[in-house]
Every structure is written in structure tokens, then in C-alpha cells.
Structure 1
Amino acid sequence: MTPGTSTPRQIDTSTAHPARVYDWLLGGKDNYPVDEAVGDRLPPQARDAARQNRAFMNRAVAWLAGQGIDQFLDIGTGIPTEPNLHQIVQDIVPTARVVYTDNDPIVLRHAEALLVGRPEGVTDYVEADVRDPAAIMGHARRILDFSRPIALSLIALMHFLGDDQNPHALVRDMVAELPSGSYLVLSHAASDIFPELAEQVTAEYAKGGIRLGFRTRAGVLRFFEGLDLVEPGLVTAPEWFKETPAPSPEGSGIYAGVARVR
């Protein structure tokens, strides 16, 4: 049991879960036949999107750590896939503090792997849902210093919330708790880059009982309202890079951006 977690829930192997489907798309082994069934029905571009999304996260958090950001709150962590966020940032800032959050109990089973970090730093995990930001922020305040900048990471998460679940308000409320100089790191599936493909992916996830809410660029841009987008702004995942060689050009249905809290 890790600090801040409740009694582990029983893993439901009869229903697909986004974290486990994502693990399958990345070539992982921590998923069940019900998750694989969803992944098998998806077009090949879904694997590309998962890879592009992961690579964006790696580049973004490495850049932030290089700017001196040493506190990270990663919501929708998913099943560990090396390098994990804390490995990237603690290689750059060994004293970095990282709090992971996910709502899939299988991720809790892997918390020991997530919590193995540099002895100079701190890594922590709490089982919670992004729709309960009070629980997440309450736990994070026990680990992170909210008087200093924090990077809030929402990687490929908010497109699992429909507009009726007020995703923009959820993000706005969490960002409001962050001090000036903090950052929002967010990636999100697009509905308007490859619309037919987006419809196909949405339909296949729905067959597995997973609801998707892909958004247009304008819809994704709303998550960054009131913040200062870091260059190159809101772009596709392979187009976002800083101070590193440019990734190979390729089509992508994932929007990605990093913005600074004023």
C-alpha cells in the first residue's frame, strides 16, 4: 500500500479500461482480453498516436525539468512504461518531486515500479479520479509545495470526458490552485484533423464501453485559456519540441501544448 491510497478495488476484467487499452497500444503486457479486443479493432494509426503522445510527454517534461521545474502532478498516469515521468525529470533534477494519479486499480498494483526514483527526490501515488480534483489536490498538497511552481500533466486524458462532465471547468479549477510560474502540459485527441478516423476510433471504443470526446483545435485550446502558451503553441504531438532535434515529420491526430500559469 502506498501513501494516500485507499483499500485497492477489485480489478474488473470484464470491461475495457482506457489505461489498459493504451498499454496494449504501446505494446505492453498489463492488459486483459477485453482491452485487447478494443485495441484489435482500432486502425493502425491508433498505435502511432499512442507512440506520438508518449514521445511528446517525454520531450515536454524533460524541457520543463531543464527550466528548473522540480514538482510534477501527473493525472491519468497509466500503466508504467519506461521511461516514466519521474525517471525523465529526476535524471535532470534528482531532487524532483512527482505525484502520480490514476483511477484504474491495476495501476495501483504497479505503484511500486512508479515509486522507485532517485533517493534525493520523492515519488508518490494516489488512486483518484480527475473528476474529483479536491481529492487529488488535497493529497498533492501533502507532497508538493504549492508556494513554488508545479507542472500539471494531463496526457491523453481529457478526451475521455464528454462536455457534460465539464472538462474545461475541471482543468480551470485545478490550474487555479497552482502558483504563478507553474505549467499545464496537455495532449488531446483531435476530431478535426482526420475526422473519419476520429469517428472510427470513437465508435470502436464505444463498443468496449469507453466513451470518448475528441475535440476540435478550438475546443482543445479552451483548456489553455488564461495561460501563456509556450512556443510552438498548440500543435500536433510530433510538432512540439524544444531545444532538441525535431522529430520526424508525420501526420498525427493528437494536439499537444504546454502553457505557463501567470
Structure 2
Amino acid sequence: MSEASPERIWTHQDPDYLPPEIDTSKPSIARVYDAFLGGKDNFAVDRAIAMEGMKHFPDGGGGARNNRAMLFRGVKYMTEQGIDQFLDVGSGLPTMDNTHSVAQRVNPDARVVYVDNDPIVLAHARALLQTNDNTRVITADLREPEAIFHHPKVEGFLDFSRPIGLLLVAVVHHLGDDEGPAELVDVYKSRLASGSYLQLTHFCSCAPEVRALEGVLLSMLGTGRARDLKEITRFFDGLELVEPGVVHLPEWRPDEPVKLPLDLAGNCIAGGVARKP
């Protein structure tokens, strides 16, 4: 997130400034992802998972960077199609080219709500979004869509009678099969107005290394489920997929020619963007 603020931001080197609800002895999805990206906003418990994962999947950071690049391209595309409000569920810790910075470069009046269940995300956003009136952040869980839709910082700020860009980027794979992920995504889609877009990315079970990484995440983090392209495509049922459809991330409307065959980092996550008719 690009807006600077004089408010102090905590890091793992500044434990005394941590919000009291953050337990540094327990791993967090957002912080593990930050560790894969080589960030500083994580703790030993998070880095241990990333390090173990990279024993099986050495370029886990490359996969995470491909995911961020796909978010950039998807948000830019949606904004250019006229979308001026976004709901980013499971947004994680801020890095370069977040949803609001991409959208507001195209349309300075674009509104964005970030949603994450990790209080660490809220701690960052309070500082980094202090001067941005068109961007808000709330603490809520993907599994409780009604709590998100009816949150006081969402109601009246996002207009669900108009098209919205819904982002479920690298978050649905943290739902187990027993949690009905496709049905949950259907609930979100049902609340979108005609002309809205869904951008979704997901671990793809395309290689044994991905399955090995899945095992690490499930055993050490308790979450992280790889699915095949057919299962990932199911999340877009009822929507009109934007070309080229559901593909491995480097292949989705790349800014530069993509070298084929894709390497493991390019194959490990798939996704797409689709419009609600």
C-alpha cells in the first residue's frame, strides 16, 4: 500500500509495538505468505513453515510473486472495464501494487475494502491507509460473507446494487473440502450485481512438488488445499470467463510473452477473471 504515514509500523524486530491480539507463537496465513515473498513482517513460527515448504518447493517465492502479478493485471483489467469499487477478501499483508494502488492509478475515485481475519493486516492498514478516504480495511473471515456484507465499514461505502470487483486471490485454497468452498463462493457471487467481476486464484495440483507443499501447509499451518483445474473452474460457474479462461497465472493476459513450458513456479497456481451476466 503506497500511502505513507507518520504512524509507526511494527515489524518482527519491534515486538513491543505488536497489537495485543497477535499471538506470535502461532502461525498466520498472511505472515507465512509474507515469508515466502521474503518480507519482514513475519515471525519465527511463520518462517519455519516457509523454510520447510521451500525444501519441497524451492521457488515458493516465485509462485507468490506470480500471484501478485496476476492480481495487478486482473485489477487493472477490471478497472479499465469501468469497475470502480472492489472487495478484496483475504487480502493479506500489504506489498507492492496492492488492489487500491492499482485501481486508483486508473481511477483515483475507485473504492476498495480489504478484508482479512488476521489483526496484523489491520495494524498495517491503519498506518498505511490513514490518508486514503477511498480505501477501508476490516477484520472478518472469508467463511462469514454476511458479516462482511453488513459490516458498518462496508455498508454505504460499497454499493452492491452496482458492479463490484470481488477478489478471492489465494484465499479459497485455505478452505477444506468439508467447508464447502464452491458453495461459499456461490454465496458471494449471488450478492454481486450484473456486470460485476470475480477474480480468483488457487493452488493447482499439477505437480508432485505442489502436493508436497500442500502436505507441509496442512501439517504445520492447518490449511492449504491444492485442487485441479476442473475444481478451480467450478468456482466460476454461472459467470462469463474472460479470455483466456482459467489458466496457470503467467498465461493470464501477460504483459510480455511467456516462455513455455512454464516452470514449477508458473504452474503451481491457476486462476482467472469472470463477469457476472
Give the alignment's TM-score, normalised by structure 1.
0.91
Measure the CA separation in 2 of the matches of 1:165 and 1:114: 33
Secondary structure of the residue aligned to 1:141 is coil
- Aligned Cα RMSD in Å? 1.6
The alpha-carbon deviation at position 246 of structure 1 amounts to: 3.6
Which of residues 208, 228, 234 is equivalent to 2:220? 208
Shift, 1:65, TM fit: 0.9
| Contact kept in structure 1, 2:85 and 2:164, CA below 8 Å | yes
Between stretches 108-117 and 52-61, larger displacement belongs to: 108-117
In the other structure, the counterpart of 1:55 is: 69
- Partner of 1:256 in structure 2? 271
What is the distance in 2 between the residues matched to 1:21 and 1:246? Answer: 30
The match for 1:112 is 126
Please list every run of 5 or more consecutive structure 2 residues that lacks an aligned counterpart in the other structure. 1-18
Report the CA distance between 1:118 and its aligned residue.
5.4
- 1:123 maps to what in 2? 135
**Structure 2 matches for 1:183-202, cutoff 5 A?**
183-191=197-205, 193-194=206-207, 196-202=208-214
- Aligned mates of 1:206, 1:213 — CA distance in 2: 8
Residues 1-262 of structure 1 mapped to structure 2, 5 A cutoff: 10-42=21-53, 43-116=57-130, 122-139=134-151, 140-191=154-205, 193-194=206-207, 196-241=208-253, 244-249=255-260, 250-251=262-263, 252-262=267-277
* Superposition deviation, residue 143 in structure 1: 1.2
Structure 1: unaligned runs, 5 residues or longer: 1-7
SS in 1 for 2:33: helix
* 8 Å Cα contact 2:113-2:137 kept in structure 1: yes
Question: Any idea what the Cα deviations from partners look like across 1:112-151, whole Å, max 9, x if unmatched?
Answer: 24525656xx101110000010011112333111121100
Deviation at 1:235, TM superposition (A): 0.3
Contact 2:49 2:221 in 1 (8 A): no
SS at 2:221 equivalent: coil
Q: Is the 8 A contact 2:29 2:221 kept in 1?
A: no
- Equivalent pair of 1:158/1:188 in contact (CA under 8 Å): yes
Contact 2:202 2:232 in 1 (8 A): yes
Cα distance 1:99–1:228, how it changes in 2: closer, same or farther (>3 A)?
same
Post-superposition shift, 1:77? 0.7
Q: Number of aligned pairs?
A: 250
Contact 1:23 1:31 in 2 (8 A): yes
Cα distance between partner residues in 1 of 2:129 and 2:258 = 30
Q: Please give the alpha-carbon distance, in whole angstroms, between the structure 1 residues aligned to 2:239 and 2:96.
A: 30
- Determine the C-alpha separation between the residues in 2 that align with 1:260 and 1:179: 10
Measured against aligned partners, the alpha-carbon deviations of 1:223-251 in whole angstroms (never above 9, x if no partner) come to: 00010000010000000016x43455533
Distance change (3 Å), C-alpha of 1:9 and 1:131: farther
Matched residues in 1 for 2:195 and 2:20: separation?
37
Deviation at 1:207, TM superposition (A): 3.2
Q: Is the 8 A contact 1:238 1:248 kept in 2?
A: no
1:38 match: secondary structure? helix
- Give 3-state SS (helix, strand or coil) of 1:210's partner: coil
What is the CA distance between 1:210 and its match in structure 2?
Answer: 2.3
Q: Does the 8 A contact of 1:74 with 1:153 survive in 2?
A: yes
Q: Give CA deviations for 1:89-123 in whole Å, capped at 9, x if unaligned.
A: 0010000000000001111110124525656xx10
C-alpha distance in structure 2 between counterparts of 1:28 and 1:258, whole Å: 27
